[in-house]
Amino acid sequence: MSGATPPIPRAIAIRAVDWHLALLSGELDEPALQRWLCEHGDHRRAWEHIQATNQRLGSMLSPAAQAALLTPAGEQRRQAVKALSLLLFAAGAGSLGYQQLPWREALADMRTAAGERRRLTLPGGVQLAINSASAVNLQHNNETLDICLLAGEILLDSMGATQPALRVQSEQGLVSSHHASRFSVRSCGDQTRVDVLAGSVQVQPDALSQPPIVLEAGQALNFDRQRASAPGTANELDSAWVDNMLIAASTPLGSFLDTLSRHRKGFLGYDPQIAGLSVSGTYPLDDTDRILASLQRTLPVRLQTLSRYWVRVLPA
């Protein structure tokens, strides 16, 4: 009995995607493609696989993703090509479920890198703030603005909007508002966190058949696909990132550093012994090195630094 077909090397997969995009854009050099196909059997396998799965691509890629793939050579296009090659060739040639694929973040309509935050005005005057290391897809019709939160955190403000109906879909369920409101939604691994700062929202975990949970201004909760926690108190200080600030009020240092790590490239860790120290203050997020240095001056801690991208906070 013959063995399993070996996977297509990633470099060949990426090159095959490039050939396919040249075909779609009308820039294909047919003789050059034929020479490439004849160079190695894996080249032809990769090309035939793309042609066989081509019909699925249109429904799986957002308009922004398709635009990125067909732009002239550049960093955005290189990232999109690599992500698409992962989609087509990883884990048994596309056998992964759509909701589990990491390429969704790379090809999102809007995304931010670590340390980057964005503010936008959406149709109807809705204000959208996107936190560091986040990704969203957007869809708008005459009645509702739909946002798919793929990673990270967003804050929506429809208090002055002409179309306040909003729906945010996370991995765990749906958060919706049909009236003027201001609220944040954060992806926390296998849970979603919702904080309502004004107005009200409804929370519906995907696998929960009960009526939606109503959250009023000042309330917050976490939920997964099966259940939601009891409503607690929303903390408006947690949304200071919208103004590029990190505010602590007797916050445990471990929690403070966990939040700071989302705004910083690389690794930021800490010794559990210092996690309970209390932190208070207002810190500009534009310089996380400065924040860490200030902690070292005001608390009994020291920084273990292997590089700019690897820092650990230890007892002094």
Model confidence pLDDT, tens digit, residues 183-198: 999 998 889 999 999 9
pLDDT in tens, 83-140: 566 555 654 443 333 343 444 554 456 778 888 999 988 888 899 999 998 888 887 7
Give the CA-trace dihedral at 295, 297, 298, 304, to 10 degrees. 40
245 with 281: CB under 8 angstroms? Answer: no
pLDDT in tens, 263-289: 998 889 999 999 999 999 999 999 999
Q: Give the three-state DSSP class for 134.
A: coil
Provide the 8-state DSSP code for 265. S
In this prediction, residue 224 carries a pLDDT of 92
In this prediction, residue 296 carries a pLDDT of 94
- DSSP strand pairing (153-157 vs 173-177): unpaired
Task: Give CA–CA dist 201/156, Å, rounded.
Answer: 11
Q: What integer best gives the mean pLDDT of the chain?
A: 82
Write down the pTM of the prediction.
0.67
278 with 253: CB under 8 angstroms? Answer: yes
pLDDT confidence tier of residue 66, bands split at 50, 70 and 90: low
In this prediction, residue 16 carries a pLDDT of 81
Average of per-residue pLDDT across 150-169: 89
119 with 111: CB under 8 angstroms? Answer: no
